[in-house]
């Protein structure tokens, strides 16, 4: 089977050198039972790589179970992974198998492995070493024959340094590390993705596809794609619903993009192309905080010039449009400025942590304490939001 045939068979798109190397690695490691760690930013297609490894392995006849470790509450994750006995805890009305038992003979993909609690990491390491585990509430060891594939968008090495990830588990996982590059680092693959997503969506929904002109493709190749392949797919599908059958130009594509956060040079902020997921989340919050600070300073200037009353109106990008109506806001003065009594300091040197705390507080209030909606609005994971709430001692209600 040629490399191209292999890619078509498993839905791996890309002609870049990086993707060709990944395909070669898959073909070498798939027939073995070695543990594989797949790393890369959110949305790059780590699950596609995992499925290809399973499909080319000797376990292809068995199922592959995917578990999102970040989506399972810490209090029940061991029960979900290893199962539990009847009466093991309140609500355990019957014996239940965990994901490892269900995947026996096949493959288990542990996505967001960096979110695994430290206590669970110890038991997971035992499964990796000898396939042995115990259900919650049981003292009887059990064994499974499972091929483990782990995936993460976090920098596990930095988590090891901070003590939130076990060093022995880290070295056990990284025996084979497949790093999937971000979409912005393999721009030559973008036209292939666009064509594939457009044709696939048109056939699946029985609609006419669209043609992307060269200047439209150029715009897409210059976009930062912080959501990577997943973001590109969503964009193409959204455009096809509205623009089906058309020849799409650069101006058409720009209407569906957010230039204030997506293009290099759109802000006076440094662009870290190889940032970790944690750094990316913090940068997104910082950008939102800069927007808020700019809004406050702009309104303060208007107040000083006697141009009230105005009404708060937000434009499409979410920034305050002070061109019409009345505005109501509260002046934010950080503690350092309150102690010094300097309003100039308050206007120009707001510490990032205080800005971050204020932004999270206001977002939680906006969504009536709904953490999921607040996390989505802030473009961070729910677990990151939980950690920030605890860190700042916030009352999200």
pLDDT at 280: 55
3-class secondary structure per residue, the chain: CCHHHHHHHHCCCCCCHHHHHHHHHHHHHCCCCCCEEEECCCCCCHHHHHHHHHHCCCCCCCCEEEEEHHHCCCCCHHHHHHCECCCCCCCCCCCECCHHHHCCCCEEEEECHHHCCHHHHHHHHHHHHHCEECCECCCCCEECCCEEEEEECCCHHHHHHHCCCCHHHHHHHCCCEEECCCHHHCHHHHHHHHHHHHHHHHHHHCCCCCEECHHHHHHHHCECCCCHHHHHHHHHHHHHHHHCCCEECHHHHHCCCCHHHHECCCCCCCCCCCCCHHHHHHHHHHHHHHHHHHHHHHHHHHHHCCCCCCECEECCCCCEECCCCECCCCCCCCHHHHHHCCHHHHHHCCCHHHHHHHHHHHHHHHCCCCHHHHHHHHCCCHHHHHHHHHHHCCCCC
**pLDDT reported for residue 131:** 93
- pLDDT recorded at residue 322: 37
More confident residue, 327 or 144: 144
Average pLDDT, the chain: 81
Beta-strand relationship, 177-179 and 36-39: parallel
For the chain, list the domains and their CATH numbers: 3-181 (3.40.50.300), 184-262 (1.10.8.60), 277-392 (no CATH)
Q: What is the pLDDT of residues 291-313, one digit of tens each?
A: 565 556 555 555 554 443 333 44
pLDDT bucket at 336, cuts 50 / 70 / 90: very low
Residue predicted with more confidence, 273 or 14: 14
Residue range 142-192, pLDDT digits in tens: 999 999 999 999 999 999 999 999 999 999 998 899 999 999 999 999 999
pLDDT band at 378 (very low <50, low <70, confident <90, very high): confident
Condensed to tens digits (0 to 9), the pLDDT of residues 385-397 reads 888 888 888 864 4
Mean pLDDT within 2-14:
92
pLDDT digits (tens, 9 = 90+) for 29-47: 999 999 999 999 999 999 9
Higher pLDDT, 295 or 94: 94
């Amino acid at each position: 089977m040629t490399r191209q045939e292999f890619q078509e068979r498993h839905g791996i798109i890309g002609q870049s050198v990086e993707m060709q190397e990944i395909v070669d690695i898959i073909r070498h490691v798939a027939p073995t039972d070695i543990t594989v760690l797949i790393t890369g930013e959110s949305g790059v297609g780590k699950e596609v790589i995992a499925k290809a490894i399973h499909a080319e392995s000797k376990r292809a006849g068995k199922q592959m179970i995917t578990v999102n470790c970040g989506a399972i509450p810490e209090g029940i994750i061991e029960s979900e992974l290893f199962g539990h006995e009847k009466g093991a805890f309140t609500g355990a009305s019957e014996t239940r198998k965990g994901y490892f038992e269900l995947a026996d003979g096949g493959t288990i993909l542990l996505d967001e492995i960096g979110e695994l609690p430290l206590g669970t990491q110890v038991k997971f390491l035992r499964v990796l070493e000898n396939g042995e585990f115990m259900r919650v509430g049981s003292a009887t060891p059990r064994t499974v024959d499972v091929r483990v594939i782990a995936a993460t968008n976090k920098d596990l090495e930095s988590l090891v340094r901070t003590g939130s990830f076990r060093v022995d588990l880290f070295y056990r996982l990284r025996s084979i590390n497949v790093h999937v590059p971000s979409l912005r680092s393999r721009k030559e693959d973008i036209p292939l993705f666009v064509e594939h997503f457009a044709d696939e969506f048109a056939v699946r929904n029985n609609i006419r596809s669209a043609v992307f002109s060269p200047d439209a493709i150029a715009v897409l190749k210059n976009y930062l794609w912080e959501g990577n392949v997943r973001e590109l797919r969503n964009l193409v599908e959204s455009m096809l619903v509205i623009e089906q059958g058309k020849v799409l130009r650069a101006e058409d594509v720009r209407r569906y993009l957010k230039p204030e956060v997506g293009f290099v040079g759109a802000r006076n902020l440094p662009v870290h192309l190889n940032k970790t997921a944690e750094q990316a989340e913090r940068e997104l919050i910082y950008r939102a905080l800069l927007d808020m600070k700019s809004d406050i300073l702009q309104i303060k200037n208007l107040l000083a010039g006697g141009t009230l009353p105005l009404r708060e109106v937000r434009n499409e990008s979410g920034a305050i449009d002070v061109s019409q109506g009345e505005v109501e806001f509260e002046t934010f003065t950080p503690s350092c400025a309150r102690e010094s009594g300097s309003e100039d300091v308050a206007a120009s040197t707001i510490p990032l942590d205080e800005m971050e705390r204020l932004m999270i507080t206001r977002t939680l209030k906006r969504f009536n304490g709904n953490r999921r909606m607040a996390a989505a609005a802030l473009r961070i994971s729910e677990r990151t939001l939980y950690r920030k709430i605890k860190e700042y001692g916030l009352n999200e209600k």
